[in-house]
């Protein structure tokens, strides 16, 4: 029998604005109807259709996190499918219904093993893909990546890792100024894999070259890249100004100052800014000492830093928080913040035909938020999932 549910009295967060007193019909895991105007009469429903009155709460498309290393005490880079499931499950409770797993720098053999463990989960539809962050990055901008394991982006090595993934490696972060850097961008682009510019000391001109060769994404823009200088605008400026580039931002209020986040939105718009968590194992667990790849990280008051040195080492952010910070700290309109949390990253990953907005025909991946933008309920493929009790 077909399962169907009518969500009534909802404030629908659509790409171009918020629609009050709306409704949304879910049938067999898909959205099959959405109110097109405020107060539009509800559709005629069959007697078996369940109904839920949302009392004016917000309904958003499920979040798409394209850059996350772990959470809930588990890491994607542990090389263990069980741990990956725990991390995905943790973020699902915070509204992330599509998640791409990010690894950290390791040896090629280690990475091959990690890719092997994660690729099955991609094929099963639990993960939206694998992102390799490192080892093809700049020593000068390596952040929380083991500098001893970095290497130049040799096309033969990249091909080896792509083969290990059998189509599941969707993105690789590259410092384009390294030897073979531009060859790598070309190879990835030809292979249909996202060449993301990040952890880079590239100049503005070098970044422009990478973009012209097809690099469509900036990895956590501003973090771990040469900063903006008015005579050497660097990668940040090149990434923000080029229409075809999507810029990731770790929106925890710490990695990038909220006023700079609003500057990014003003410069590039919500359709080119993707909110990411860059979360690591400690997200949702608490302060203490953790491993990140081969390095040790100390988390204090939710701030993750390398014990050796002072570099930020990922975040303890969740996507609901990233969205809330965009609205509350950076003054981004809710509809725009929702685009940056769902539709924009979905487009980057090539899954926007299935997820990323409240549209008829798309998967019923939904987040219900209260007036304080806190998660009330999460739906994935038409099923409600367990959410953590509000803090
Ligand atoms: Zn990083």
Give the model's pLDDT for residue 114.
95
Same domain? 231 vs 310 = yes
Query: Which is more confidently placed, 78 or 228?
Result: 228
**Range of 23-27, 37-41, 47-51, 387-391 with top mean pLDDT:** 23-27
Distance (Å, whole) CA 96 – CA 192? 24
**Digit-coded pLDDT (tens) for 266-300:** 999 999 999 999 999 989 998 999 888 788 999 99
Let me know if residue 297 belongs to a domain. Answer: yes
Same domain? 110 vs 247 = yes
Same domain? 148 vs 283 = yes
Q: Find the helix or strand (DSSP H, E) in which 348 lies.
A: helix 344-348
Let me know if residue 391 belongs to a domain. Answer: no
List the one residue out of 37, 88, 31 whose CA is nearest residue 61.
31
How much is the pTM?
0.96
CA of 126 to the centre of ligand 1 (A): 23
Q: What domain range is 12 assigned to?
A: 4-60+356-385
CA of 10 to the centre of ligand 1 (A): 37
CA of 292 to the centre of ligand 1 (A): 11
CA of 84 to the centre of ligand 1 (A): 18
Judge residue 52's burial from the number of C-beta atoms within 10 Å of its C-beta, 0-12 exposed, 13-18 middle, 19 or more buried.
middle
Give the model's pLDDT for residue 390.
52
Distance (Å, whole) CA 91 – CA 219? 20
Q: For the chain, what is the mean pLDDT?
A: 95
Same domain? 26 vs 127 = no
353 is known as an active-site residue: no
**pLDDT score of 144 more than 50:** yes
35-49, 231-245, 247-261, 350-364: which has the minimum mean pLDDT?
35-49
List the one residue out of 72, 136, 55, 73 whose CA is nearest residue 103.
136
3-state secondary structure of 379: strand
**pLDDT score of 66 more than 50:** yes
CA of 314 to the centre of ligand 1 (A): 7
> In Å, what is the CA distance from 9 to each residue of 19, 41, 42, 58, 62?
10, 11, 10, 10, 19
CA of 294 to the centre of ligand 1 (A): 14
Let me know if residue 194 belongs to a domain. Answer: yes
Same domain? 292 vs 213 = yes
CA of 68 to the centre of ligand 1 (A): 9
CA of 189 to the centre of ligand 1 (A): 21
Same domain? 332 vs 372 = no
**pLDDT score of 59 more than 80:** yes
CA of 204 to the centre of ligand 1 (A): 20
Same domain? 126 vs 256 = yes
Give the model's pLDDT for residue 368.
98
CA of 133 to the centre of ligand 1 (A): 7
Let me know if residue 270 belongs to a domain. Answer: yes
| Buried-state track 203-216, b at ≥16 Cβ within 10 A, e below 16 | bbebbbbbbebebb
Let me know if residue 82 belongs to a domain. Answer: yes
CA of 155 to the centre of ligand 1 (A): 21
CA of 199 to the centre of ligand 1 (A): 7
Q: Return the CATH number at 35.
A: 2.30.40.10
Let me know if residue 390 belongs to a domain. Answer: no
Tokens at 125, concatenated = 């539809």
Same domain? 279 vs 160 = yes
Same domain? 162 vs 232 = yes
The total of structural domains in the chain comes to: 2
Give the model's pLDDT for residue 294.
80
CA of 130 to the centre of ligand 1 (A): 14
- Report yes or no: 133 and 112 within 8 Å, Cβ to Cβ: no
Same domain? 299 vs 373 = no
CA of 212 to the centre of ligand 1 (A): 23
Same domain? 77 vs 38 = no
Same domain? 209 vs 304 = yes
CA of 63 to the centre of ligand 1 (A): 20
Give the model's pLDDT for residue 389.
59
Catalytic residue among 65, 201, 252, 278: 278
* DSSP E strands, 45-140: 50-53, 58-61, 63-68, 70-71, 74-75, 96-103, 129-133
Q: Return the CATH number at 93.
A: 3.20.20.140
Let me know if residue 159 belongs to a domain. Answer: yes
Let me know if residue 221 belongs to a domain. Answer: yes
């Amino acid at each position: 029998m077909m399962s169907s549910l009518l969500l009534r009295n909802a404030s629908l967060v659509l790409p171009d604005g918020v629609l009050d007193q709306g409704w949304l019909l879910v049938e067999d895991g898909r959205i099959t109807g959405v109110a097109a105007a405020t107060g539009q009469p509800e559709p005629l429903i069959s007697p078996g259709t369940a109904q839920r009155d949302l009392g004016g709460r917000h309904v958003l498309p499920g979040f798409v996190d394209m850059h996350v290393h772990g959470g809930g005490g588990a890491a994607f880079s542990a090389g263990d499918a069980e741990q990956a499931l725990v991390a995905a499950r943790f973020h699902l409770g915070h509204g992330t219904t599509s998640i791409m797993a990010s690894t950290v720098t390791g040896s090629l053999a280690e990475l091959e093993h990690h890719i092997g463990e994660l690729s099955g989960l991609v094929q099963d539809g639990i993960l939206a893909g694998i992102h390799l962050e490192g080892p093809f990055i700049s020593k000068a901008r390596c952040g929380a990546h083991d500098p001893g394991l970095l290497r130049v982006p040799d096309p033969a090595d990249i091909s080896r890792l792509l083969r290990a993934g059998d189509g599941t490696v969707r993105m690789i972060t590259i410092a384009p100024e390294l030897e073979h850097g531009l060859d790598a961008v070309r190879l990835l682009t030809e292979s249909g894999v996202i060449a993301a510019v990040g952890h880079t000391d590239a100049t503005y001109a070098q970044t422009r070259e990478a973009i012209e060769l097809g690099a469509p994404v900036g990895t956590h823009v501003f973090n771990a890249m040469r900063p903006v200088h008015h005579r050497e605008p660097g990668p940040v400026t090149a990434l923000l100004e080029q229409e075809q580039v999507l810029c990731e931002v770790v929106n925890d209020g710490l990695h990038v100052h909220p006023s700079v986040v609003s500057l990014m939105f003003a410069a590039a718009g919500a359709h080119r800014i993707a909110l990411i968590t860059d979360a690591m194992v400690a997200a949702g667990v608490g302060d203490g000492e953790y491993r990140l790849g081969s390095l040790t990280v100390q988390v204090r008051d939710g701030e993750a830093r390398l014990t050796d040195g002072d570099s930020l080492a990922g975040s303890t952010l969740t996507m609901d928080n990233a969205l809330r910070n965009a609205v509350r700290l950076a003054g981004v309109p809710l509809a725009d913040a929702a685009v940056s949390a769902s539709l924009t990253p979905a487009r980057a990953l090539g899954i926007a035909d299935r997820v990323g907005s409240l549209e008829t025909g798309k998967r019923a991946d939904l987040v219900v938020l209260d007036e304080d933008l806190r998660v009330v309920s999460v739906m994935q493929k038409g099923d409600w999932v367990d959410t953590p009790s509000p803090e």
